[in-house]
Amino acid sequence: MSAVDQLFADLRSEGRKALMPFFTAGDPDMATTAQVIQAAQAAGADLCEVGVPYSDPIADGPVIQASYQRSLDGGFRLQQIMDLAEKLKSDAAMPMVSMVSYAIIYRVGLKNYVQQAKAAGYAGAIVPDLLVEEATELSRICADEDFSLVQLVTPTTPRERQVRIAESSSGFLYYVSVTGITGERTALPEDLVENVKWLRGQTELPICIGFGISGPETAAQLAPVADGLIVGSAVVRRVHDAGNSNSAATHVTDFVKALRDAIDNSRNDLVSPIA
């Protein structure tokens, strides 16, 4: 059982939903990344997603694309995400997962990446560009290492394929709420609730919703149907707009607290479409 598995087992027993902020490693620098992760945990985050900057990001909108470019321009190297987890081991009790392109994992070596990441302190990896047809080997390695392999399901993924993706995933399923790229939105698809409910009937994995969650209002709408919520662009934008590490930590603290309150106070009986 990975740390992600244990987290969701604990949350289910408590009747709580996971809050997972996303941070781009190295934007604006690794010291700030460490500081905002610690701030998020203290403010009520349950799990943290660390984005590995990549020159050809997959499905990322302009906010995250720009953050990746800033990090790469600042000299980001893959070893820095390993160093980050090592640094936070004693302070960050919440599990951390990397959001990393399969191209990077493949270049490093599948087993090598998983073992390095686990040794550093990561509990899993979200791999957005991993095709289910090519997932068998990485899925097996992750299972052997108790390391969660999180894959994405989109609104346009055929239902038979969604089941196959769930079968080769572990930790949780990342349900993409909208067709298109990441970014903050004020409205989400009307069939989102129905689609997530259907998927829940096909797998025992927790289902976490990401893409489009702009703030407490959308978080409150989605919390009742999800096992967890992933908030990316809205967090990355606040870190960038803050201008310095201390201000970034304050902005993240305030935002995560607002999200946490909205999720915890949401109605668990929500069944109406999101408009």
Question: Which residue out of 60, 191, 254, 269 is catalytically annotated?
Answer: 60
Query: Could you read off the pLDDT of 37-77 as tens digits, one per residue?
Result: 999 999 999 999 999 999 876 656 789 999 999 999 999 99
26 lies in a domain?
A: yes
**Cα 221 from Cα 270, distance rounded (Å):** 8
* pLDDT tens-digit readout, 23-37: 999 999 999 999 999
Q: Answer yes or no: is 103 within a domain.
A: yes
CATH code of 260's domain: 3.20.20.70
10 given a catalytic annotation:
no
Residue 225 domain flag: yes
Q: Give me the percent of the chain exceeding a pLDDT of 90.
A: 76
pLDDT digit string, tens, across residues 138-184:
999 999 999 999 999 988 899 999 999 999 999 999 999 765 444 44
Determine, yes or no, domain membership for 272.
no
Q: Is residue 274 part of a domain?
A: no
Query: Mean pLDDT in the chain?
Result: 90
Q: How many independent structural domains does the chain possess?
A: 1
Predicted pLDDT at 269 = 43
Retrieve residue 66's tokens.
């720009």
Q: How confident is the model at residue 78 (pLDDT cuts 50, 70, 90)?
A: very high
Which domain, by its residues, includes 61?
Answer: 3-264
Tell me if 186 is assigned to some domain. Answer: yes
> Could you tell me if residue 121 is inside a domain?
yes
**Is-catalytic flag, 49?**
yes
Catalytic residue among 49, 133, 217, 264: 49
Instruction: Please list, in sequence order, all residues whose beta carbon lies within 8 angstroms of the beta carbon of residue 16, skipping any fewer than 6 positions away.
Output: 46, 264
Instruction: Determine the length of the chain.
Output: 275
Helix (H/G/I), strand (E/B), else coil: 260 = helix
